[in-house]
Each structure stands twice: as C-alpha cells, then as structure tokens.
Amino acid sequence: MATIVVLIVFALFLGAILTGGYNKQMLARFRSHWLWDWITTVDHKKIGILYLIGGTIFFVIGGIEALLMRTQLFYPNNDFMVGRTFNELLSMHGTTMIFFVAMPLLFALMNAVIPLQIGARDVAFPFLNALGFWLFLCGGLLMNLSWIFGNAPDSGWTNYVPIALNEYSAGTGIDYYVLGLQISGIGTLIGGLNFIVTIINMRTPGMSFLRMPLFTWTSFVSSALILFGFPPLTAGLFLVMFDRLFGANFFDVAAGGNPVIWQHLFWIFGHPEVYIVILPAFGIMSEVISTFAKKRLFGYTSMVFATLLIGFLGFMVWVHHMFTVGMGPVANSIFAIATMAIAVPTGIKVFNWLFTLWGGKIRFTTAMLYAVGFIPTFVLGGVTGVMLASPPGDYQYHDSYFVVAHFHYVLIGGTVFGILAGVYYWWPKMFGYLLNEKLGKLNFWLFFIGFHMTFFIQHFLGLFGMPRRVFTYQPEDQVELINQISTVGAFLQAVAVVVLVINVIYSYRNRVPAGNDPWDGRTLEWTITSPPPVYNFAQLPKVRALDAFWHEKMNGKKELEPAEPVGPIHMPNNTHLPFLMSLAFFVSGLGFVFRSNEVGALGLIFVFLVMFMRSFEQDHGYHIETDEIEKTEKGASV
C-alpha cells in the first residue's frame, strides 16, 4: 500500500513538472490538448478508430505470446518457456485473442460502418458507446498488468474450476482474469445493446429491415447474441470471484457445490461467443464479395434467415464442448444433432457466396483476396467442426491438437480474415486514403501461407496424439518435424503482420485522397465524403432498394435523394465521464485483485458517484447550424 502511495505522489510530481505546475491554466491546457479530444469523444467514427488501435495493441501482445509458445515447441525437451510460464502464455493468448482482439476489432468496424450503412448520424447512445470502449480498454489493461506483477492467469481461457480456485491456483493470477473479464464484459454488453437499439431505431427513411446491408444484419444478430450470451458469463465470473475472494463454496463438492456448473455457465456463454465473433465476419465477406464481384448478393433473404438461424441455434449446442464430462449418451446425442444442424445454415451461406462470385465481374483487390481465401479456409474449419460434433469422434479428438487446428481455422480463417478484409475495404472510409495494394497483396499471401503452414499440419499433430496445452514432447514421439513446420508458419504470419504495419505507415506517408467511393460501392457509406463529417449525412438519404447506392447509380444518378430539408443538426457533447467511470472500475478491480477490499469498494463508490453526476447533469448537446453544414459540404465537394 505504501509503495502505491509513493508511486502516486511521484507520478503527480512528474506530471506537475511536465505540464507546468498545477494552476488555473492547467485545466484549459488539458482541454486544448489533442489527447483530451480523443478521451472525451462520443463520435462513433473516432470510437471506432480507438477500438482499432486498442485491438491492434492487444493483437501484438497476443501474437507475441503465440510466438513464444511456438518457439518453445520447436525442439523436443526445449526449456525456453516451461511449466507455469507456458500455462500462463496459453491462457493469456486465448483470452486476449478472443476478448481483447477479435471483439474490439469487430466493434471497431461496427462503429465505423454501421451508422453510415443505415444512414444514421450517430449511434443511439453515444455516451454508452464511449463507456463501452473505455471499459474494454481498462479490462484488457487490468488483465495484462498480471504480466508485470509476475502472476498471470494460468488455467486456460476456459478457466475451469477447481483448477482455477485458490486451492490449486494460489496467488492473484486468476483474479486478474475474473476481474478483467468482468469489467470488459460490462463494456461489451453495453456495446451490444447500443448497436441493437441503433439498428432498430436509427435507420434512415426507406431503410426497412430487409434493405439493410448484410454487415448490419450480422452485427445486429451478433449484438443480440451478446445481449443473451454475456449474462451467463457474468454470473459464472461472480461465482468464481466469490469463491476466490470471499470464501464462498459454489464449486466446493464437500460443501454441496458443483464444479460442472462453471463449465455449463462458461459454455452457455462460450458457444454463442464464437458466433458473436464469426457472424460480423460473415457480414464483411458478403459486402466485400458482392462489391468486388459487381453483383447483388445471391440469396440475400436466405442469408438473413441463415444468420438468424445460426444465432438461434448457437444457444442450443453448448454441451458439445463438454461431451467428455460424462453426461450420458442421450444428452450427448441431442447436442450432437443440434450442432450438426448448424452446418445447414452455414452451408447456405457458403453456397450463396459462391453463387455471388459465379458470373461476376471479379476484381482481386486485397480485401477480395481475403474474402476468397476465407471461403475454403472456413469450410475446412467447418468440416472439422462437424467431425468434432460427433461424440464418439470427439472422445478421440478431445484435448488434442486437432481441436487447436479446428478452432484456429474458424477463428483466424473466419474472423481474422474477415477483419483484415474489412480493414482493407473500409480503411479509405475511415481515414480518407487507400492502403497500398501491392503491400496488401504481399501481406495477404504471407499471412495465408503462414496460416495454413501453422495450422493445417496441426490436424495431423492431433491425430498422432499430441495433446494441447503441454509445453514439450519427446524425440521418440516423432512429432518434431511437424512442430517445426508449424513454428515456421507462425513466424511467417508474424512477418505478414509486420508487412501490414509497414503498409499502414507507407500508405499514410504517400497518401492521396481516396474520394467518396474508391471501390464503386453499393451501400450508403460510399455516398458521403471519406472520412465523413462529424454529422455523417447533411441530409438523411432516402433509401429505395437493397444496395441503395447501386440502385441510384443504375438509375443514372450520382447520389441519393435526400429525405429531409437541410436544417440544424443536433449533436451530443463530448464528455469525460465514461473515461472517469472506467478508471474507477479499473481501480476497483485492481483493489480486489490485491485483496484490498477497501480499495475495491472505494472504486465502486466512485463508479456510483460518476453515475450520479451523469444522471443529474443537464447536457442537451449542441446544434450544428445550417450555414456551417453548407460550408462543410461545399469544402468537401471542392
């Protein structure tokens, strides 16, 4: 405790020296700083960029963890990262990649694109949007602080009890997992709710549900999955938290508890979670394929229906993660059949993509390469998924590298390819300039080859009997060569990511304005300037068909007909409260991790205080006047 006080005082001194002392001008200096603008922003486009930066930082951290693990597995009996360190690496890699990379990067694209696609000026709850981002960042930072304090979570991303309880995981490692996920989980839930309301309520005139672009549709369904899926995780995390911190015994068999409850709660959340991260990727692929094949998406209505069906069935299959728990053949069979049923709507989607490509005027841009590479890769992951869905097979594959190969095929081949396609596709809309296509293609091929090199061969590693989550193997196991190929592939992927970073820097240095519509797009986001003005649409557009912009282009028009006269636009004010509230949550989480309940409670009190401030604050936003809008629009057209 004393150390923390000393550190805080030291930080305050340092802050005073660097900012020029605590005086009256300090607040004004803070406010005029560019960082203050980003901290207090409620603009969905800026929050999208913040999500993108946050997700990328954690992507690098999670990637380094993966490289360290692959390096350890390069030789038999290697002693580079062994035992507990390896367990920490694999736990943090999984948790980071799912919660702090896949979800925020998808939220980045959702934030940047959805309001534009449905013709809205912002999301329904801009304040909550900012709060969602800062909570995600605080949760992620809290969890990664565990590396600095030398005690990271080490019982897998699934955090199974009783391994995760005090008895077997002493120290504070698991507490970082529990509290970090709890805090970022609140943020995700808020984000999901926000998008549901935005999509239901904020669509522009004429944008009926069945005229929404598919990315909006899939994000809508995945937001609904967040809404229904995260509460079980929150409940489960509370149980673990109370068991670990306050001596409860929900999972203590001797006291009448049951550890299997955690597995159920985790997977009731965990299975919808994998659909939460794959569905928006499906949406991105549909947009990219339709744009670059220059065709209307084949079977749009069946795509929507398939998305809804996948979302619904996603809640009925969680037990397939627990076949080997021993619930008996009846339970296993029911859930096996439910799982295999999901292959039907997914198959509908795959065929629709293929039929969209069929006869299209295809342009192989980087985004399109990712989309086309995605289809066979994802089908491979889907096929092994159906194999794993069969209980007798699952007893053989369970906890082997076969499972690792399977879920990396769907998570990288599906979600990451989707995110990268989306980043290349919407980058000009977000930042106003295109990413370099040559470097982009190099990035794609390196990543694609590296990915298959790493994970295709892991199927066989699993079939040869190598269990997952072990830090070494013996020379006589004869899996050395396969492991070495896999490691080389992992480093190839890392090179690909470096190429992507170089591409971003290079394209920024040599940027030329991309214009409103660099890809000859079909949807509303391409009708406005890149990057769009604060208010997005000077006049809300009138939508008359699916692929609204394309419809107008085909009718010989350059832009959409407005649905309203030019008038003052009501905008929300920037606010620092979301940042403050998240900071309070962070302090509270850190307090509970260090088993200092006073600090934890103090943080929560501060949270409620900020909520109180927010509730009684009179903030009606501001108006952008007509002449200002006209000036902006004129400047954009020149």
Cβ-based nearer residue to another protein, 61 or 389:
389
Cβ-based nearer residue to another protein, 101 or 224:
224
To the nearest whole angstrom, how small is the minimum distance from the Cβ of residue 250 to another protein? Answer: 12
Residue 534 touching another protein (CB under 8 A): no
User: Which amino acid belongs to residue 82?
Assistant: V
Cβ-based nearer residue to another protein, 259 or 432:
259
User: Pick from 44, 26, 155, 137: which is nearest to 89 by CA?
Assistant: 155
H or E, element range at 232: helix 214-245
Cis omega (within 30 of 0) on the bond before 531?
A: yes
Radius of gyration of the chain (CA): 25
To the nearest whole angstrom, how small is the minimum distance from the Cβ of residue 268 to another protein? Answer: 5
**Rounded CA separation 176/583 (Å):** 16
To the nearest whole angstrom, how small is the minimum distance from the Cβ of residue 274 to another protein? Answer: 16
Residue 258 touching another protein (CB under 8 A): yes
Residue 224 touching another protein (CB under 8 A): yes
Residue 506 touching another protein (CB under 8 A): no
| Beta strand residue intervals within 144-237, DSSP E | none
Residue 636 touching another protein (CB under 8 A): no
Q: Which of 60, 241, 261, 495 binds another protein (CB under 8 A)?
A: 261
If you ran DSSP here, which 8-state letter would residue 411 be given? I
Cβ-based nearer residue to another protein, 48 or 391:
391
User: Which amino acid belongs to residue 560?
Assistant: L
Handedness of CA 608, 609, 614, 617 (dihedral sign): positive
Q: Which of 319, 421, 593, 607 binds another protein (CB under 8 A)?
A: 319
Residue 268 touching another protein (CB under 8 A): yes
Cβ-based nearer residue to another protein, 265 or 514:
265
Cβ atoms 115, 121 nearer than 8 A: yes
Three-state DSSP at 416 gives helix
Chain centroid to Cα 375, Å, comes to: 20
To the nearest whole angstrom, how small is the minimum distance from the Cβ of residue 178 to another protein? Answer: 21
To the nearest whole angstrom, how small is the minimum distance from the Cβ of residue 128 to another protein? Answer: 18
Residue 341 touching another protein (CB under 8 A): no
If you ran DSSP here, which 8-state letter would residue 596 be given? -
Between the alpha carbon of residue 165 and those of residues 53, 83, 88, 391, 583, the distances in Å are: 34, 18, 15, 29, 27
Cβ-based nearer residue to another protein, 57 or 331:
331
Cβ-based nearer residue to another protein, 180 or 232:
232
Burial class (CB in 10 A: 0-12, 13-18, 19+), 253: exposed
If you ran DSSP here, which 8-state letter would residue 513 be given? B
What number of other Cβ atoms are within 10 A of residue 3's Cβ?
A: 7
Cβ-based nearer residue to another protein, 266 or 402:
266
H or E, element range at 70: helix 44-72
Three-state DSSP at 299 gives coil
Count the alpha carbons within 13 Å of 218 in the hemisphere toward its beta carbon: 31
Residue 124 touching another protein (CB under 8 A): no
Residue 337 touching another protein (CB under 8 A): no
To the nearest whole angstrom, how small is the minimum distance from the Cβ of residue 638 to another protein? Answer: 38
Output the furthest CA–CA distance in the chain (Å, rounded).
78
Contact stretch for another protein (CB under 8 A) within 121-129, 256-264, 560-568, 591-599: 256-264
Residues near 549 by beta carbon (within 8 Å), at least 6 away in sequence: 517, 521, 522, 523, 524, 526, 527, 560
To the nearest whole angstrom, how small is the minimum distance from the Cβ of residue 264 to another protein? Answer: 5
Cβ-based nearer residue to another protein, 257 or 450:
257
Residue 331 touching another protein (CB under 8 A): yes
**Rounded CA separation 564/561 (Å):** 9
Q: Which of 80, 149, 228, 445 binds another protein (CB under 8 A)?
A: 228
To the nearest whole angstrom, how small is the minimum distance from the Cβ of residue 398 to another protein? Answer: 18
Residue 463 touching another protein (CB under 8 A): no
Q: Which of 57, 67, 327, 379 binds another protein (CB under 8 A)?
A: 327
Contact stretch for another protein (CB under 8 A) within 41-49, 100-108, 247-255, 309-317: 309-317
> Which residues are near another protein by CB under 8 A?
196, 200, 224, 227-228, 232, 258, 260-261, 264, 268, 312, 315-316, 318-319, 327, 331
